Chains A and B, each alone.
Chain A
Amino acid sequence: MKRINIAILSAALLFGGCSKFFLNEEAESFITAENLYTNASGALAGVNAAYANLKNFRNSGRAMLIGVVGTDESQLGIDEAGVTDRLGLDAYDRNLNALNPWITQMWRTCYTGIARANAVIENVPGISMDETLKKRIVAEASFLRALQYFWAVQLWGDVPIITKVISDAEKYNYPRKPVSEVYALILSDLSKAESDLPETYFGNDRGRATRYAAKALMAKVYLSAPGTLRNYATTETKLREVIRSNRYQLLTNFADVFSVTNENNAESLFEVQFLSPDQTNNMSFATGSRAVPDNILGGGYAWFIPTDYMFNLYEAADTRKPVTFRTQFFNSQGQLITTASNAEHLKPHVRKFEDPSASPSSAVGKNTYVLRYADVILMFAEALNEQGKIGEARTELNHIRSRAKATQSVAITQVQLRDEILTERMKELSFEGWRWYDLKRTGRLVALAGQHNPRAAGKVKESNNLFPIPLSEINNNDGINPEDQNPGY
């Protein structure tokens, strides 16, 4: 009996004593936050993933349509308009609602990037590693967080402010915060980026956010913020710092700006980096013509096309025109295509995203711009003009026109120049994703989209200056109730 007692006791001890260790679960075939943020390479991997989210704004989903279609610049392709959820983005009809999957995707993509940046900002300071690199990484994440909050606050107005890694998912309660608070966060992140980011990078770091990218973005923020937050003087100051750095210039030849072999060039401040074969974007596919198979240059699915108005704005000699538009389509034998199942397939299509070295068009490794020097110059012109420095402003505008071999501006009044700058922004920066934002911040969305976009005409309203908060956010976030929805949705 005694022996049995001992045996049972020892068996019990064996299991009881070891069970804690025995049942311990370890991450073995994957990485967790706990074992990622332990050294410099983990910190880099974290911030790289935050950059990687930018690719999602230019990829398979239709979030890329937001900021582009529904404006005077661009409209949906005819085939794409047959699908109601996409039609809503262009036609401002009842399909532009809280259930719209692409608005949800845009929201999700912004916040996915914010969450990745948060993980870096929260975890990296605790790592013992090279302090300079540590500072830079946190500043890069701050830049990326600011960029995505900037898009979000313009699209939706008051938005939840999340600055930490989610650890309280059970009672998920993040209410919408006033626009002013969001802008304050953006500016504080950008100040950190401005002070801690390097002026430039070399070798295999080329493409990371720089101090001047932060300054240029800060300028855009001051130029875009509503009400008293807007500050043309600071915009001017920040842009002047960029210009005086002498690191940037307008490339002589506009075509070189969009050459796949000329990425991260002297005109570029910040680009989304793509690389064949598995770091590719879908922009060429999204803009190519259905008249052409997508494994042939110019082929694709024509999710969006230029409006007739916009295409006709260019002077014949404007060197941007042949770079921006494809007007002729060829089949695989190189023969000109003259008929298509729908006439629209042969209308001018966007060419900026084409990459002659890529096939199919859904896997293009060419970078896309977020901030480039032409934008800096045009913002500079705008800030000057708004402060009444009309002459200086016109000079800046004419830098852009000169490069394009377009007629020089002779505008005299501030109002004239304001219009010319806004139009010039469309001609120069077309389809690069800023048009909707430009119309919104200048208060011209209803007027210009209503006038020049055939589907938006008569439908676009002032309430469309904000998009609806996605229903999946309202349903799952205790802090946002249905009555908190933006007006009109």
Chain B
Amino acid sequence: MRKFKRLLQRLLPGLLVILVFCSNAQQTRTITGRVTDDAGNAVQGATVEVKGGTARTATDASGSFSIAVPATGSPVLVISNLGFQTQEVSALGSNTVSVSLQTAAGNMNEVVVVGYGAVRKKDLTGAVSSVNAKAISDVPVLNINQALQGRAPGVLVQQANMRPGGGVRVNIRGISSINNGIDPIYVIDGVITQGNISEMNPEDIESIDILKDASAAAIYGARGANGVIIITTKKGKAGRFEVNYDGYVGTQSIIKKLPMMNGAEYAQLRRDAERNVALQDNRSVRTDAQLFSATELASINSGASYDWQDAILRDAIMTNNTVSMSGANEKTSFYSSVNYFRQDGIIINSNYERKAVRLNLRHRLSPKFTMGNTFNIARTDEDIVPGSIFYNALSASPLEPFKAADGTYPLIVANNFASHPVANAELVTNQQIGNRYFGTVYAEFAPVSSLRIRTSYGFDNLQRTTNFYAPRTVQQGSSVNGLASIGNTYNNYWNWENTVTWNKDIGQHRFNVMVGATAEENRFTSNSASAQNFPNDIYTYKNLGAAQIRNAPASYFERWRIASYLGRLNYTYKDRYYVTFTARRDGNSKFGPDNKFAFFPSGSVAWRFTEEDFMQAKNVVTNGKLRVSYGASGNPNIAPYRSFTQFVASSALNYSFGGTVVTGLGNGNGVLGNPAIRWEQAKQLNIGLDVELFRKVSLNVDFFNIQNENLILDRTLPPSSGFGSITYNIGGLRNRGVDIGLNTIIINKKDLTWSVSANWSMYRNKITSLEGGVTERLVQQSDFGNNILRVGSPLGLRWDYLYGGVWQTGDKIIRPGTKAGVPGDMKIVDVNNDGRIDAADQTVVGDLNTDWYGGLSTDLTFKGFHLNIVTNCRVGNDLANRVWDFYMDGRGTFINNLTDMNNRWTPGNPGSNIPRATIDFRHYDNSSRYMEDGTYFRFRSITLGYNLPTAFISRASMKRARLYITAVNPITITSYRGYDPEADPSGFGTDTYPNAKSYMFGLNVTL
């Protein structure tokens, strides 16, 4: 700091001398003028300078300026502003000028928020993708991540759970961790959060910037390794006082139903299975009367068939309404909005409702002092369908009517063991209520114009309550006379950020220096209680004390804290050469006493070669920049308290003496604490090229190589240790890939514009090391299948027995272990050809990684009409379609099957590779037949909008009015046989909420 002061002291007198010298040098005249945007609104803060001279000023809130120009010659004013094309105006012969700035054609001039500051996109040295408010507001999206889908290169957004309010999975540049979270962090106006942010109204967003490489993400140091998504909310704009209404109403329906057997087909399957088994067991075939329930027999006789998917699905309505107000004068700007969103789910009785209020304020107390806040309050109410509804509906016999003869729902669907799906959905209470308030308060002090000191306190408080009651009229509640539970979770986060930013242009040298210190804390607490055996079904969850059995309550607490120092230096020479250094030192409570701190530096250089003289003359490449960055970021996504050996109270550790239970505490076979645990690190090299041609085509290409080190893995401990595992920094992983973004304006005429944006990304990953000496390891997945981790191979290789169709008559049949087989049974490939099927025959049967993914979108405007189409695709990844495997098991009992099973193997249909019908899995062996290609191409949305003519709307004192219709997910092209290829590939699938297609009609009015 002292050095800086000394520098100032030395430089200031010199600068003053220069200024005085200049102003005295020649005669001047003053030119005044006003700068507006293409809509006629004042542009505040635009730079006005004299070409070839030194005079420079900025426009005020009304867009006005005044500047001195030489009295002689033909002075030219250069007017520039972020987000607009720079314009030159001759000041010859007139003392007043009026300038209308055109919105920048390319996006090189847009401002990009990079964390603790913002830069012009053309000054960027790192890899950053941006999505602006227009892209979000033109097409209605249900949540923020949908706005990113298919729009940003290198960002793969997949809806993880399609239920209303459900979360998404966002992968930036591949998979950066083997065990720990791979979700990026979200920074909403400076508040750092992770995971579902469905409490936020997407329409409040001004811009989304995604920091992808180390140079950009390193400022978030320890948490940057998975990328950073920075969300900036709207602020009032100078001179525009606006009231805005945005609303739509829409309907949703399932994209596709699974083709399940009808009653007659199902009856035949069961008869076939019975006949096959009777033949095999040498017994007589049982009759229909012995095989089917009375109700099923009635259906067989009447020819009735019941579609259980129809029983749980519906066309559902959704509606969204936002009213916002915004505006600003010289001192104060504000943006405020209220939002009501309701989405009925496509499964009966699943609903989501959000009420959100936002207030963003900024007030300049004095020329040097500014303060403000961003504030969001939201309440969500969700009715969640109890688990297994799809399992129950798909399994249910199509011969069983939905209701019993007396009009009630049976507890289970007879003959199926399946709990009654409709009864569960309609009669079980399962509410989740969320209250979230988050935001920031901040103050900025600028003692001199080049220096800005900012302090900001951010907070994010989320409380969720789950209320559950299963009455005695459903299976879950029947045996216990009603089962109720309530659960509360509280997540309280705060951060305090202090930064000092120094901005100075000295001649051709531009400096931007930021240093800061931050502190954060997150506390998570939860409690829950449950009870059963209620005298009636009236109390539901509202009076647990009324139950006869009150189970032990539970509570939990965990906390982590982070303290960091950070700094960034941006240096620009001649708007041509850029250097950025970033460093962050993070301390995190989750790590052991000696490893709490880690240092994450990065550096990058960029060269805007179009500024070079040799490029100036040619108007082909209108902007071009080469970027190289290298740096480190981290991933601290491990559970807290891993440095401790935890003795968790449990009845397994307790014991009894003399007829009394005594408390025991000691090691289970759990995790041995590791005080030496430290950060995962990602070292990332990024080489990028940004090119703009003819001011119409902009192309961004980024190559990256990410080496992840010290990956936190649980090392299996030998059983003699008495522990199961220890968490260590032992893994290594490499991700390499390319992101390409292309934006073109093909036609740009007054009444007709057409632009196309495309992005394409690919990555390849490779495990570079595993725990000490181990070269491969199996990891069980949530579908109970195994992935294999192998040094030198990618993550996400599926390891299983290989499906080889079915055994044919005359084959020498071998089956796993000592199992006997007959023709029509499943055939497992004897991979090692040793004449038996055992563990040694397992092999890699699928690769869950994509070959590439991308998006293509286009905007076409003609007079008042606007057509927007967004598409995306994901190519070459395998998915575990356990649903297909499960409902193709050919068992003639318990569950319905897919219609594909109609083509099952029979002696008369020997060509089939689908096994015969049996019971008890006699024909069934675990195999890879659930692996499928998950490639899809999807029209994310098609929107047609119409701006009502100005002449018409101005009569109604409206500034703008727009009507639109949108189709979301209208078309999907895929060979995947499950509900949706976008669904969580690691899930068992039967309980995944299926994706919907929807059609909306919307209205957008600005007063």
Contacts and interface: CB of A to CB of B under 8 A. Distances in A.
Interface of A: 1, 4-5, 7-8, 11-12, 15, 18-19, 22-25, 27-33, 36, 42, 44-46, 48-52, 55-56, 82, 84, 99, 104, 107-108, 111-112, 114-116, 118-119, 159-160, 162, 166, 169-170, 172, 174, 201, 203-208, 264, 273-275, 278-279, 470, 472-473, 475-477, 480
Given A11-B517, A203-B658, A111 B653 contact: no
A118 B721 CA distance: 11
B647 interface: yes
B657 A46 contact: no
Contacts of B561: 22-23
Contacts of B666: 45-46, 49-50, 52, 115-116, 119
Given A22-B563, A46-B666, A174 B720 contact: yes
B647 A169 contact: no
B952 interface: no
A160 B588 CA distance: 38
Given A18-B563, A30-B649, 18 more contacts: A15-B519, A29-B556, A31-B665, A33-B647, A45-B664, A55-B652, A55-B655, A104-B719, A112-B668, A115-B722, A166-B723, A169-B721, A169-B723, A204-B662, A264-B658, A472-B718, A473-B718, A473-B720
A477 B721 CA distance: 9
B639 to A, nearest CB: 12
A279 B451 CA distance: 68
Given A23-B563, A169-B674, A206-B657, A49 B557 contact: no
Contact of A275 (B556, B661, B715): B661
B596 A23 contact: yes
Given A15-B565, A49-B655, A166-B672, A36 B661 contact: no
18 contacts: A4-B500, A7-B453, A12-B565, A23-B588, A23-B596, A30-B649, A31-B646, A32-B644, A32-B646, A51-B655, A166-B721, A166-B723, A204-B657, A208-B657, A278-B654, A470-B719, A475-B718, A476-B718
A49 B653 contact: yes
B558 interface: yes
Nearest to B657: A207
Contact of A44 (B562, B645, B662, B672): B662
B667 A115 contact: yes
B658 A25 contact: no
Given A49-B655, A55-B655, A108-B669, A28 B559 contact: yes
Contacts of B674: 169
Given A112-B722, A473-B720, A30 B664 contact: no
Contacts of A36: 647, 665
Interface string B549-560: 000000111111
Nearest to A106: B719
Contact of B647 (A8, A31, A115, A278): A31
A42 B665 contact: yes
- DSSP class of A's interface residues: helix, strand, loop or mixed? helix
Interface of B: 1-2, 5, 447, 451, 453, 498, 500, 517, 519, 555-563, 565, 587-590, 596, 640-641, 643-649, 651-669, 672-674, 676, 715-723, 726, 728, 774, 817-818, 839
B665 A49 contact: yes
A476 B716 contact: yes
A2 to B, nearest CB: 9
Contacts of A275: 656, 659-661
Contacts, number: 214
Given A8-B1, A11-B498, A48 B646 contact: no
Contacts of B648: 30-31
A24 B717 CA distance: 27
Q: Which of A1, A28, A82 has the most CB of B within 10 A?
A: A1
Contact of A25 (B447, B453, B641, B774): B641
Contacts of A208: 657
B655 A475 contact: no
A352 B779 CA distance: 40
Q: Which of B587, B673, B720, B818 has the most CB of A within 10 A?
A: B720
Contacts of A174: 718, 720
B811 to A, nearest CB: 23
Contacts of B663: 45, 48
Contacts of A30: 641, 644, 646-649
B453 A4 contact: yes
A261 B646 CA distance: 37
Contacts of A50: 664, 666
B563 A205 contact: no
A329 B339 CA distance: 68
A275 B657 CA distance: 9
Contacts of B660: 204, 275
Nearest to B653: A49
B667 A112 contact: yes
Contacts of B5: 1, 5
A172 B662 contact: no
B517 A15 contact: yes
A172 B717 contact: yes
Q: Which of A8, A25, A29, A204 has the most CB of B within 10 A?
A: A25
B656 A274 contact: yes
Q: Report, nearest first, the 10 A-B pairs whose CB atoms are least far apart.
A: A115-B722, A49-B666, A49-B664, A108-B719, A48-B664, A275-B656, A476-B718, A477-B718, A206-B658, A204-B658
Contacts of B659: 204, 275
Given A23-B587, A45-B664, A172 B721 contact: yes
A335 to B, nearest CB: 22
B664 A107 contact: no
Nearest to B672: A169
Nearest to B777: A475
A114 to B, nearest CB: 7
A48 B661 CA distance: 10
Contact of A15 (B560, B563, B723): B563
A166 B652 contact: no
B664 A279 contact: no
A115 B558 contact: no
Q: Which of B558, B661, B715, B722 has the most CB of A within 10 A?
A: B722
Contacts of A160: 720
Nearest to B722: A115
B717 A19 contact: no
A53 to B, nearest CB: 8
Given A23-B596, A111-B720, A207-B656, A169 B726 contact: yes
A32 B647 CA distance: 5
Nearest to A1: B5
Contacts of A264: 658
Contacts of A42: 665
A50 B839 CA distance: 36
A299 to B, nearest CB: 19
Nearest to A32: B644
Q: Which of B2, B563, B653, B721 has the most CB of A within 10 A?
A: B721
Contacts of A32: 644-647, 673
A11 to B, nearest CB: 5
A439 B653 CA distance: 33
